[in-house]
Structure 1
Amino acid sequence: MKVAVADVGTNSSHLLLAEAVGSDYRVLDSLKDRTRLGECLDAAGHLTLEGEARLVDALTRFKALSVAAGIPELRVYATSALREAPNGPEVAARVLERTGVYPVAISGEREGQLTYLGAAHSVEFGPDNVLLDLGGGSLEFARGGPEHASDVLSLPLGAIRMTRAFISSDPPGRKEVQALQKHVRALLSPHVERFQARPGTRVVLSSGTAEAAATALSGLTEPGSVNGAHFTVSALGELLERVRTLRTPARAKLPGLERRADTIVAGLAVLHAALELLGAPEVTVSEGALREGMLIEELARFQAYAQGLSVRQRSVLATAERFGANLGHAGQVADLARTLLDSLRDAGEDFPADARSLLTAAAALHETGQIVSQSSHHKHSAYLIRHADLRGFGPREREIIAQVARYHRRSAPKPAHPEFMALPPEDRALVSRLAGVLRVADGLDRSHAGNTHVRSLQRGADGWTLQVTGASPLDLAGAREKADLWTREFGALNLSGDELP
């Protein structure tokens, strides 16, 4: 399985292409784009047309590189610049139209959790770890064990944000830096106990600013990896004071600071103030960050999905992979569809014993037709399923799977469709009901981000109420738009959702 993930930050955007190798992964390619969205925010925080154009340009190149590597699906998460922009959802929708890629704005807490996961697979974590991840717009804190964060905090202390707010001189004045650090301490002070360094705590930094500091402190003159590098907080303070006294052109000549000369003073000042307040004497630098966490989560999600399949469902998975389907999306839709079906059964709806298996197969294969053409791919999917070697499924079962997949989008089943009318009445009813479930499940992952989870499905006097978490605005809109067949088969569907942290 190959995966393409990208993160869109306030300062830069990063693409990572990798493939699964056992329980680990191998990087195939990577690309960085200095989108600098933080420069493209108006006084009210709206992303400007220039910022949107930069984002479109970066994601267009990211998408082209991922497709060239044989990875048709690109998952993109956006952080503070887009999530805080009042017009962020509108920008994301237009970017989808122009690039075919939807940048999902994630919360600062989720950003911290994923960055922690990425860092934990890049440097050795101990029983107690505190991670600081400094971006252009925000600073995330995360505390946890060897792999997962148990406590996460996001504060608006990013390097670009702080440069704009406090640094106006070149070189910056000492009072400017002192005011900035006073602001950092004021915001962090209420949370110190949660993230304070204790005996045995490993404090890890993950950011371009941290890597730049490690390079400058190491004395390296050529670019190289600083993953796992250590330095003391007192050394960081000395570097801050040395860099503060230089003008921007002089800072740009220092190894590691070439591309961060305009924001490095604020970035170092933020980290130094935060680390001093937390009582950290020494830090370790991790090059693993958000995108690595995204990659690890995606691979783990797929492996968990594959391990839970029966023998004949593994045949379905092999078929989906052979036809180039997006396995992450297929697995997510299958999970959502099964959860919805189970909830319908719990509420008293009657389905035959094999309904769950047939729905899982249809969900896994519903987009295989894209290998033929995006246009009418639902019909191409049905054709490919009918003629695929799905071991363990008989002719009747293959036909039901094909038709459920065929009706995952566009027209609902109707008497004018000869293949549908050729089915026995009980199978026509089953196809319509399962397709109604599949359409809603597919809509709930319209962003292909894999973040939506079903909280509850309940029947009431006015129909069904479906509560979900983690869904993006695009996912919620997708489910509502595709609830037509559900309404016909089960009754009206009312949908509500909130974002996962």
Structure 2
Amino acid sequence: MPKMEAAVEIGSTGIRMLIAEELDDGTRNILDRSELAVSLGRDVFTTGTISRETLLQCLLILNRFKEQLAGWRISEKDTTVVATSAFREAKNRDSVLDRIMVKTGFRVKVIDGIEENRLMFLAVNECLKGEDGQGLIDRNGNSVILEVGGGSTEIMLLKDGKIAGAHSMRLGTVIIEQQLRRMGSMPDAKRYIDEFINNTKIALDDELDLGKVRNFIAIGSDMQLAALFSGRPVSAFLWEMTKGEFDAFMEEVQKYSTEEIAARFKIPYNEADSLSMNLLVFQLFLNRTEAERILVPETSLREGIFISNQNIQNVRKEFYSQILASALALLRKYHGDEKHAQHVRHMCLTFFDSLKDELGLEESSAQSESHCSPRLLLEIAALLHDIGSFIRTHDHNKHSKYIIEHSEIFGLNREDIQIVSQIALYHRESKRMKSDKEFVSLPRDARLTILKLTAILKIADSLDRAHTQRIGKFRLSFTTDTMTIVTDGSHNNVLEKIAIEEKSDLFESIFGYRVMLR
């Protein structure tokens, strides 16, 4: 029997629900959709809190959705409820989340911007696949995926099909409306958006030059409306339109009042009210690229939730490669030693796989908030452990922690990034871990993950102390109390032996093996 599940998204302008069934072949049928407007964004971006009236409205909508789910016989465990930018910024979000749980039974997960990007990538990646299973994005060209919401704009940059950057920007239609009320005219609002995008472009150019983007992928119901009236279908859930067709549609929309937009396009008043502003953001971003056509997938974050829950092998493989591509893009941005980083990464994987039965990490990771396996977290930490040398070689581990903490790595949530940053910090000075308030305040599972992965990274890093990759292949030999690293060839390994003596203390205390190099 097909499995039914639901995804609910609490956004800045409305609450949306999608109900689907998963078939035996892994595909999904959409069974039901619901969407009701709510002014969460206007509350939060004006006063900083969610008002009592808006909370009551949210409870009413969610209880209505709960009745709908009961009609489909979908249980709470098969329903995922997430909240986005408005809840992220609400000062009273904890008390509001508690009322929602008490009054509706829904446990809402507030996701950060990079998690939104992750879910949208999963949805878009599936939607853009042709009948042969291959993506329709030109793998030899640069692409941008853009979604403009009520409280934030999510952007993903892809270089030759691989993630080069992923960011959540505080620019949304509700926020722009607040600025418009202050400025009073559409030209001023356009200038405000244009300057914001121009400043954003300067920052993004370090990752990918927007001026060289050929593929422009636009997400959201407003762009779907534009494609429906001005474009043409490419496949069942994908539309396209030329830049000229989109510009003509924009010109038409700007002639109408909100009431005329609602009547002309048969959409609710609240959607009509923000249509021009939303499309303007897309247009100004589009104008900074060389893209001549726009791809508009008929998908959403909610489809991304289904795919994420499904956990298909080929989806995991594609997602895994995109996470590593994002970490590599960050390394290159800060001019890291890529050869050393990749060499240490491969050595870390050899250690991890050889010690897999003794690590005991997979189960603890599954119970945490992490999206990434410990093995993948170790790979990312290995790639980025020396990234702080961009600031200063001395104490570079502290600078590595700072850069990682304040960066957005595609596919990693805040818990993942915190673990990676801690591993990068302690790959040099692990002795002060027990006195570090930040470390000791972490959950037990996270602390164990950091300890074990840091111990592995320290050994792997010591084997390439001179950053020359002299030690290539090696094998591990175990006795009761010793792990011997046996290298190929007849290299002089004196420096590496000294490094291992200096850096093996954590490994020996955790795993109980004395480390020898032969």
TM-score by length of structure 1 reads 0.57
CA contact (8 A) 1:2 1:17 kept: yes
After the TM superposition, which residues 467-478 of structure 1 pair with which residues of structure 2 at under 5 Å, given as runs?
none
Q: List alignment gaps of at least 5 residues for structure 2.
A: 130-135, 317-354, 379-411, 416-439, 448-518
CA contact (8 A) 1:192 1:277 kept: no
Question: 1:209 corresponds to which residue?
Answer: 222
Distance 1:191 1:150, change over 3 A: closer
Match of 1:83 in 2: 88
SS in 1 for 2:145: strand
Q: Aligned partners of 1:151, 1:56: CA distance in 2, in Å?
A: 37
- Structure having the larger proportion of residues in helix: 2
CA deviation digits over 1:110-151, x for unaligned, max 9? 101211211222234322542101111111111348998553
**304 and 135 in structure 1: CA distance in 2 versus 1, 3 angstrom threshold:** closer
Whether the 8 Å CA contact 2:157–2:166 is kept in 1: the answer is yes
Which one of the candidate residues 49, 63, 66 is aligned to 1:60?
A: 63
Q: 2: CA distance between counterparts of 1:81 and 1:45?
A: 9
Matching residue within 11, 14, 17 for 2:13: 11
Structure 1 distance, partners of 2:29, 2:159, is 25
Identity across aligned pairs (percent)?
20
- Residue 156, structure 1, aligned to residue 170, structure 2: yes
Mapped partners of 1:8, 1:198: distance in 2: 34
Equivalent residue for 2:119?
114
Shift of 1:285: 0.7
SS of 2:60 mapped into structure 1: helix
- Asked if 1:231 corresponds to 2:241, the answer is yes
Task: Measure, in 1, the Cα distance between the counterparts of 2:191 and 2:203.
Answer: 19
Q: CA deviation at 1:108?
A: 0.8
Q: Compared with structure 1, are the counterparts of its residues 193 and 56 closer, same or farther at alpha carbon in structure 2 (3 Å cutoff)?
A: same
Contact 1:216 1:256 in 2 (8 A): no
Q: Contact 2:115–2:413 (CA<8 Å) still a contact in 1?
A: no
Cα deviation, 1:18-45, whole Å, max 9, x if unaligned, reads: 2222222222222122223223336442
User: Is 1:39 equivalent to 2:42 in the alignment?
Assistant: yes
User: Any conservation in 2 of the 1:197–1:203 contact (CA below 8 Å)?
Assistant: no
Alpha-carbon distance between aligned partners in 1 of 2:289 and 2:127, rounded to the nearest angstrom:
23
Structure 1 residues 36 and 453, CA gap change in structure 2 (3 angstroms): farther
Whole-Å separation in 1 of the counterparts to 2:27 and 2:163: 20
2:52 counterpart residue number: 49
Whether the 8 Å CA contact 1:4–1:75 is kept in 2: the answer is: yes
- Residue 14 of structure 2 aligns to which amino acid in structure 1? S
Give the letter aligned to residue 182 of structure 1.
Answer: E
Deviation of the 1:70 alpha carbon: 2.5
Give the equivalent residue in structure 1 for 2:151: 137
CA drift of 1:226 comes to: 8.9
Confirm or deny that 1:299 pairs with 2:316: no
Shift in alpha-carbon separation, 1:441–1:265, aligned structure 2, 3 A: closer
Shift in CA distance, 215/163, structure 1 to aligned 2, threshold 3 Å:
farther
**Residue 441 of structure 1: how far off its partner (Å):** 7.8
Q: In the alignment, which residue of structure 1 is the partner of 2:104? A: 99
- Give the conservation status (yes or no) of the 8 Å contact 1:257–1:264: no
Cα drift, residue 49 of structure 1: 1.5
Q: Counterpart of 1:55 in 2: which secondary structure? A: helix
Q: Is the 8 A contact 1:216 1:257 kept in 2?
A: no
| SS of match in other structure, 1:277 | coil
Secondary structure of 2:288's aligned partner: helix
User: Counterpart of 2:190?
Assistant: 177
Corresponding position of 1:412: none
Structure 1 residues 224-279: Cα deviation after superposition (integer angstroms, max 9, x where no partner): x9942222334333433433343222222222655422111211111111111233
Answer yes or no: is the 8 Å Cα contact 1:210–1:285 preserved in 2: yes
From the superposition, tell whether residues 25 and 187 of structure 1 become closer, same or farther in structure 2 (CA, over 3 Å): same
Alignment-derived partner of residue 300 in structure 2: 289
Matches within 5 A, 1:319-338: none
Q: Structure 1 residue 186 and structure 2 residue 199: aligned?
A: yes
Where 1:278 maps in the other structure, the secondary structure is coil
SS in 2 for 1:71: coil
User: What is the rounded CA distance, in whole Å, between the counterparts of 2:441 and 2:89 in structure 1?
Assistant: 30
Distance in 2, Cα, partners of 1:55 & 1:85: 14
Structure 2 vs 1, CA of residues 153 and 303 (structure 1 numbering), >3 Å: closer, same or farther?
closer
The 1:304/1:203 distance shift into structure 2, 3 A limit, reads: closer
Separation of aligned partners in 1, 2:232 and 2:126:
26
Inter-partner Cα distance in structure 2 for 1:285 and 1:217: 12
Matched, 1:495 2:443: yes
Q: Deviations over 1:332-384 (max 9, x none)?
A: xxxxxxxxxx999659xxxxxxxx9xxx9xxxxxxxxxxxxxxxxxxxxxxxx
Segment drifting more, 122-131 vs 100-109? 122-131
Moved more, 61-70 or 198-207: 198-207
Q: CA deviation at 1:453?
A: 6.8
Indicate yes or no: 2:275 matched with 1:270. no
* Partner Cα separation in structure 2 for residue 185 and residue 441 of structure 1: 41
Letter in 1 for 2:246: L
Whichever residue aligns with residue 98 of structure 2, its letter is: A
The change in CA–CA distance for 1:148 and 1:257 in structure 2 (over 3 A counts) is farther
For residues 39 and 115 of structure 2, the distance between their equivalents in structure 1, rounded to whole angstroms, comes to 22
Partners of 1:67 and 1:149 lie apart in 2 by: 40
User: How far off its partner does 1:204 sit?
Assistant: 0.9
Instruction: Describe the shift of the 1:290–1:196 C-alpha distance in structure 2 as closer, same or farther (beyond 3 A).
Output: farther
Distance (Å, rounded) in 2 between the aligned partners of 1:136 and 1:129: 23
* SS at 1:54 equivalent: helix
Residues in 2 aligned to 1:42 and 1:179: alpha-carbon distance in whole angstroms: 17
- Taking the aligned partners of 2:62 and 2:245, their CA distance within structure 1 comes to 38
Q: 1:494 to 1:32 in 2, by over 3 A?
A: closer
Structure 1 CA distance for aligned equivalents of residues 116 and 306 of structure 2: 13
List runs of 5+ in structure 1 lacking aligned partners: 306-341, 348-355, 361-436, 457-468, 473-491
Question: How many Å separate the matches in 1 of 2:11 and 2:315?
Answer: 29
For the residues of structure 2 that align with 1:62 and 1:495, how far apart are their CA atoms?
A: 34
